[in-house]
Structure 1
Amino acid sequence: MDITRYNSEAWDREVESGNVWTKPVSPELVRKAKAGQWEILLTPAKPVPDDWFPKLEGLRVLCLASGGGQQGPILAAVGARVTVFDNSKKQLEQDIYVAERDQLDIRTVRGEMTNLAVFSDSSFDLIVHPVSNTFVADVLPVWKEAYRVLNPKGTLISGFDNPLLHIFDYEEYEKGILKVSYSIPYSDIESLPKDQLKKQLEAREPLEFGHTLEDQIKGQIDAGFIISGFYEDNSAGKEFLDRYINTFMATKAEKVYVDKCRDLA
Structure 2
Amino acid sequence: MDITKQNSGAWDQKVDEGSPWTKAVSSEEIERSKNGDWGIIVTTEKKVPRNWFPSSLKGLNILCLASGGGQQAPILAAAGADVTVTDISRKQLEQDEFVAKRDGLQLKTVQGDMADLSDFEDETFDMVIHPVSNLFVKDVHPVWKEASRVLKPNGVLISGFTNPLLFIFDDNEERKGILDVKHKIPSSTLDYLPEEEVEEYLRTNQTIEYAHTLEDQIQGQIDAGFVITGFYEDDFGGTRVLDQYIKMFIATRAVKLTF
- TM-score range relative to shorter protein: over 0.9
Please name the residue that 2:34 is paired with.
34
Superposed counterparts of 1:92-131, under 5 Å: 92-131=93-132
Per-residue Cα deviation, 1:44-100 (whole angstroms, up to 9, x for no partner): 000000100013110000000000000000000000000000000000000000000
Per-residue Cα deviation, 1:194-215 (whole angstroms, up to 9, x for no partner): 2453453243111110000000
Please name the residue that 2:67 is paired with.
66
TM-score, reference length from structure 2: 0.97
Please name the residue that 1:188 is paired with.
189
RMSD: 1.0
Contact kept? 1:188, 1:197, Cα under 8 Å: no
Aligned partner of residue 42 in structure 2, secondary structure: coil
Aligned partner of residue 251 in structure 1, secondary structure: strand
Superposed counterparts of 1:60-209, under 5 Å: 60-209=61-210
Per-residue Cα deviation, 1:116-175 (whole angstroms, up to 9, x for no partner): 011000010000000000111110100000000000010000000110111111222222
Contact kept? 2:66, 2:130, Cα under 8 Å: yes
Structure 2 residue runs without a partner (length 5+):
none
Contact kept? 2:6, 2:202, Cα under 8 Å: no
Please name the residue that 1:43 is paired with.
43
Q: Aligned equivalents of 1:46 and 1:128: distance in 2? A: 15
AA of the residue aligned to 2:212: H
Q: Aligned equivalents of 2:217 and 2:194: distance in 1? A: 26
Aligned partner of residue 119 in structure 2, secondary structure: coil
Structure 1 residue runs without a partner (length 5+):
259-265
Runs of 4+ in 1 over 6 A off after TM superposition: none
Deviation of the 1:216 alpha carbon: 0.2
Aligned partner of residue 38 in structure 1, secondary structure: coil
Contact kept? 1:72, 1:83, Cα under 8 Å: yes
Contact kept? 2:175, 2:240, Cα under 8 Å: no
AA of the residue aligned to 1:246: K
Q: Aligned equivalents of 2:66 and 2:116: distance in 1? A: 11
Contact kept? 2:97, 2:109, Cα under 8 Å: yes
Deviation of the 1:189 alpha carbon: 2.3
Greater mean alpha carbon deviation, residues 215-224 or residues 184-193? 184-193
- How many residues align? The count is 258
Q: Aligned equivalents of 1:188 and 1:245: distance in 2? A: 22
Q: 1:191 to 1:129 in 2, by over 3 A?
A: same
Contact kept? 1:167, 1:184, Cα under 8 Å: yes
Please name the residue that 1:262 is paired with.
none
Greater mean alpha carbon deviation, residues 196-205 or residues 223-232? 196-205
Greater mean alpha carbon deviation, residues 231-240 or residues 186-195? 186-195
AA of the residue aligned to 1:26: S
Please name the residue that 1:2 is paired with.
2
Identity of aligned residues (%): 57
Deviation of the 1:191 alpha carbon: 3.9
TM-score, reference length from structure 1: 0.95
